[in-house]
Amino acid sequence: MPETAIHVEGLGKRYRIGQYEKYRALRDTLTDAMYAPARMLSALMSGKRNGSGRGANYFWALSDVSMDIREGEVVGLIGRNGAGKSTLLKILSRLTEPTQGRARIRGRVGSLLEVGTGFHPELTGRENIYLSGAILGMRKREIDRNFDAIVDFAEMGKFVDTPVKFYSSGMYVRLAFAVAAHLEPEVLLIDEVLAVGDAGFQKKCLGKMDDIAGTGRTIIFVSHNMAAVQNLCTSAYLLSDGRVAASGNTNEIVSQYLKEVSSVEQKPLSERTDRHGSGKIRFEKFRVLSEGQEGFAVFGNDTRLLISYTASAPLRNVHISMGIYTPFGQAAAYLSNELVGKFFEEAPREGVFECRIDKLPLIPGTYSVNVFCTVNGVIADYVKDAARFTVQDGDFYGSGKLPPKDYGAVAVRHDFDLLTGV
Amino acid sequence: MPCFPPNGRPRPLDIDMSFVFHYPTMDSALTKDGSEKPSIRSDDIPVFDIRPTSGWRLLDVRELWSYRELVYFLTWRDIKVRYKQTALGVIWVLLQPVAMMALFTIVFRRVSGVSPDGIPYSIFTLTALLPWQLFSRAITDSTTSLVTDQKLITRVYFPRIIVPISTVLAAIVDFLIASILLLAIVVYYGIPLHAQIIWTPVFFVLMIVAALGTGFWLSALNVEYRDVSHTIPFLNQFWFFLTPIVYSSSIVPDRWRFLYSLNPMTGVVEGFRWSILGTAHRPDNVILPSVAVAIVLLISGTVWFRRRERTFVDIIGSGSA
């Protein structure tokens, strides 16, 4: 029976509202002090004690969280944004103290909260390996021993003595991850660092994580990518509003999370503010039409995806693309006007992009769409998870049958014959 | 969430495909790199207890010692980065005090009218300028150090006090290089060395104690009140003139003498002059109050820093993590 690596008991963290980003200027403290007598008086009048901690000025990012993780377990930590995942990791990596409760960790803790921690642009790759390694908690002789492996892993070759400010962003990320991946702590906390680099490098990173997990290290993995969580983790915890909502078998927890996520109402696209890009164009509405019906798609039906936009001026050279993701966060399809050789050299101030898909090959389920648009080669609008739509059961194959679940997101049109006497 | 590559170029098809297949599954053929597999050493696995703490704490010297390599690397980084892309590099360490010495010699020699004990005014000033520059650099750099290194302290745990300590250490390296210059000039002017030079290390330590204590206070305060960093330029100016650098503390009237010596740098500067230049007798009356204040600064600074460090990450904010 392996020993307990991480034991968490009734952990809670309280933040003062506004304490997060703001730093205080002396002025604020002085004003606070000026108003303090008045505040105390009103508190006395209303009979409440000031600073009891449960008042309106505080919120609990984490409350009464308990967990037990044994050595060698790879545990997924999932939950919506603001559920307390990052706060928990911050407490476990001792970046911030809990307000109540306790945790006991057996072994050195390495955290990959962000790759490239401690990199200095003026220093060379070699120097940064040592600096970043030391900051992440490696001993110099450990770095010495792993140096060649790190350089190899990062595929940096002869650039090892070039200042990293001259590196391409891909090279920078590769080096940063390589250093972090060669940490040798007993407990590793990972917060979605895998969303970096190109596909080949990511494959390598996942392989490396698999290696690490195989050596009996304990890993807590925070991610929104359910496919990665399911692939890597032996069990999972679902956090919701700072509490442990469920824990246990990864697949069960993941499906519970997906239920929680899909039950949340989405803001209409036109009201979304989490956009990127120059704003030359603005996506207003996303619609799905399926052979005359609107609001959902049907497996195997001819489908139209419509994106309405507005722009402040007529546009030239517009490219639009959409990424379609499964509820597990896996990319299912990529649609773009470029791919099909249609070019929009001019576009009016208002219009609708129409994307037609013959006999929709997406397996029934809920999908999320990223929409992305460039004008003259510059990102003009980009909304992640801009809209969701469901694909309902339909007769894609013309046989009245549906493929079994969990065999991919996309159906492939195919045929069979039995050849005899060949 | 997987996302589009954040560049605006219309991309060729091969890159598009790579982003579609963002997350390969684990059971696909994965490239394993050939590096040796790290293995867990079962011996001496440390256990960390995480719980709310409260009250005042002193320095955890054992923990600090276990982080000595990080102190070394951070100091090394500060030194290395400071003179990157400068044509003269480390020569600046010598040039700065020499330039100031020349300036003060021209401006103040007449005004102050002192050339005490027959020592050339330029050496008289330089002996004070070196510790002053260390102190000034140390407090300037350590004030902003925690904020400058916020990416570190919001991502990785280490004893936070390492950050101001390593800025002070980097300043000490500059000081040591510059002292070679001082030694050369002392020899050049043929100033005889006295037995009291063995006291120099004592004042060296006093200087570091004063710099660390002040640095701890200012760096911790600056996390909460960024106003502090704005006061540094004139704090430096005030402090400079409150320290007997361009003049001798003997011109301070007796009734102000005690108050004046509460500035720890007064004791440092007069101590260096006495031990290196061999001036007549040890100015104990200014040194002892300075020593007391420096020690109080160091202890109170440490305790204050340790009390406030719990909230550093919450106040500075966590960026994207």
Blockwise average pLDDT, block size 10, chain B, 321 residues = 37 31 30 37 72 81 89 92 81 87 81 64 89 94 91 86 95 92 87 86 95 96 90 93 87 87 93 85 85 96 91 70 33
**Residue B5 near residue A146 (C-beta atoms within 8 A):** no
Share of chain A above pLDDT 70, in %: 84
**Residue B205 near residue B132 (C-beta atoms within 8 A):** no
Closest CA to A215 of B29, B44, B32, B31: B32
- Dihedral of CA B306/B307/B313/B315: which sign? negative
In B163-192, the residues whose Cβ lies within 8 Å of chain A are none
- Nearest-by-CA chain B residue for A379: B8
- Nearest-by-CA chain A residue for B160: A95
Range of the structural domain that residue B159 is part of: 95-307
**Residue B274 near residue B282 (C-beta atoms within 8 A):** yes
Cβ distance B38 to A212 less than 8 Å, yes or no, reads yes
**Cβ-Cβ contacts under 8 Å, B225 against chain A:** 23-26, 29
Residue B320: CB partners within 8 Å, gap ≥ 6?
Answer: A114
Residues A124-138, mean pLDDT to the nearest whole number: 89
Least confident of A150-159, A276-285, A306-315, B17-26: B17-26
A114 confidence band (pLDDT: 50, 70, 90) = low
Structure tokens at B108: 């103040």
Global pTM reads 0.70
Q: What is the per-residue pLDDT for B12? A: 34
Q: Out of 3.40.50.2000, 3.30.2400.10, 3.30.70.1070, 2.70.50.60, select the CATH number for domain A269-392.
A: 2.70.50.60
Does the pLDDT value for residue A263 go beyond 90? no
**Residue A371 near residue A276 (C-beta atoms within 8 A):** no
Q: What is the per-residue pLDDT for A329? A: 75
- Superfamily of structural domain A61-262: P-loop containing nucleotide triphosphate hydrolases (3.40.50.300)
**3-class secondary-structure state, position B61:** helix
Is B40's Cβ below 8 Å from some Cβ in A?
yes
Does the pLDDT value for residue A48 go beyond 50? no
- Dihedral of CA A357/A361/A363/A369: which sign? negative
- Nearest-by-CA chain A residue for B13: A339
* Residue among A15, A26, A153 minimizing CB distance to B33: A153
Structure tokens at A132: 């970043």
Closest approach of chain B CAs to the CA of A120, in angstroms?
Answer: 8
Cα separation, A117 vs A132, whole angstroms = 6
Q: What is the per-residue pLDDT for B20? A: 28
Mapping DSSP onto H, E and C, the string for chain A reads: CCCEEEEEEEEEEEEECCCCCCCECHHHHHHHHHHHHHHHHHHHHHCCCCCCCCCCCEEEEEEEEEEEEECCCEEEEECCCCCCHHHHHHHHCCCCCCCEEEEEEECCEEEECCCCCCCCCCCEHHHHHHHHHHHCCCCHHHHHHHHHHHHHHCCCHHHHHCEHHHCCHHHHHHHHHHHHHCCCCCEEEEECCCCCCCHHHHHHHHHHHHHHHHCCCEEEEECCCHHHHHHHCCEEEEEECCEEEEEEEHHHHHHHHHHHHHCCCCCCHHHCCCEECCCCEEEEEEEEEECCEECCEECCCCEEEEEEEEECCCEEEEEEEEEEECCCCCEEEEEECCCCCCCEEEECCEEEEEEEECCCCECCEEEEEEEEEEECCEEEEEEEEEEEEEEECCCCCCCCCCCCCCCCCECCCCCCCCCCCC
Closest CA to A175 of A129, A110, A113: A129
Does the pLDDT value for residue A255 go beyond 90? no
Q: What is the per-residue pLDDT for A119? A: 85
Neighbour-count burial for B40-55, b at 16+ CB within 10 Å, e otherwise: beeeeeeebebeeeee
Closest CA to A190 of A222, A213, A236: A222
Least confident of A13-17, A58-62, A259-263, B1-5: B1-5
Backbone angles phi, psi at B78, to 5 degrees: -60, -45
Structure tokens at B208: 């570091």
Residues A64-80, mean pLDDT to the nearest whole number: 90
The DSSP bridge partners found for residue A353 are: A307
* Residue among A103, A111, A202 minimizing CB distance to B22: A202
Residues A357-371, mean pLDDT to the nearest whole number: 89
Q: What is the per-residue pLDDT for A80? A: 79
Q: Is residue B274 part of a domain?
A: yes
- The DSSP call for residue B11 is P
Q: Is residue B208 part of a domain?
A: yes
Q: Is residue B146 part of a domain?
A: yes
Q: What is the per-residue pLDDT for B15? A: 30
Residue the block writes with tokens 């990518």 = A225
Cβ distance A217 to B40 less than 8 Å, yes or no, reads yes
**Residue A90 near residue B318 (C-beta atoms within 8 A):** yes
**Residue B90 near residue B170 (C-beta atoms within 8 A):** no
Question: For chain A, which residues make up each domain, given as ranges?
Answer: 61-262, 269-392
Cβ distance A323 to B84 less than 8 Å, yes or no, reads no
pLDDT digits 0-9 by tens, A178-236 = 888 787 788 888 876 554 555 666 667 767 777 777 777 888 988 877 777 888 888 99
Cα separation, A383 vs A369, whole angstroms = 9
- Dihedral of CA A112/B17/A391/A290: which sign? positive
Q: Is residue B297 part of a domain?
A: yes
Cβ distance B35 to A153 less than 8 Å, yes or no, reads yes
Q: What is the per-residue pLDDT for A1? A: 61
Closest CA to A147 of A127, A120, A173: A127
Q: Is residue B200 part of a domain?
A: yes
- Nearest-by-CA chain B residue for A163: B84
Longest dimension (CA), chain B: 84
Q: Could you write out the DSSP letters of every residue in B19-51?
A: HHT-S--TTS--PPP-SPPP----TT--EEEE-
* Residue among B18, B31, B318 minimizing CB distance to A204: B31
Q: Is residue B303 part of a domain?
A: yes
Least confident of A27-31, A93-97, A253-257, B296-300: A27-31
Amino acid identity, residue B60? Answer: D
Q: What is the per-residue pLDDT for A404? A: 77
Cβ distance A370 to B6 less than 8 Å, yes or no, reads no
Closest approach of chain B CAs to the CA of A302, in angstroms?
Answer: 23
Q: How many domains does chain B have?
A: 1
Residue the block writes with tokens 């929409």 = A371
Closest approach of chain A CAs to the CA of B167, in angstroms?
Answer: 15
Residues A91-113, mean pLDDT to the nearest whole number: 87
* Residue among B32, B52, B73 minimizing CB distance to A211: B32
Other Cβ atoms within 10 Å of B27 Cβ, number: 8
Does the pLDDT value for residue A22 go beyond 60? no
**Residue A125 near residue A164 (C-beta atoms within 8 A):** yes
Q: What is the per-residue pLDDT for A21? A: 40
Is B117's Cβ below 8 Å from some Cβ in A?
no
- Nearest-by-CA chain B residue for A232: B26
Closest approach of chain B CAs to the CA of A238, in angstroms?
Answer: 17
Structure tokens at A332: 């299912």
Structure tokens at A43: 């508190």
Cα separation, A388 vs B266, whole angstroms = 70
Mutation to test the A interface, candidates B70, B71, B146, B149, most A Cβ within 10 Å? B70
Amino acid identity, residue A359? Answer: K
Cα separation, A214 vs B168, whole angstroms = 43
* Residue among B25, B46, B84 minimizing CB distance to A122: B84
Q: Is residue B296 part of a domain?
A: yes
Cα separation, B151 vs B163, whole angstroms = 12
Q: What is the per-residue pLDDT for B73? A: 93
Whole-number mean pLDDT of chain A? 82
Cβ distance A385 to B50 less than 8 Å, yes or no, reads no
**Residue B303 near residue B56 (C-beta atoms within 8 A):** yes
Q: What is the per-residue pLDDT for A54? A: 43
The DSSP bridge partners found for residue B11 are: none
**3-class secondary-structure state, position B121:** helix
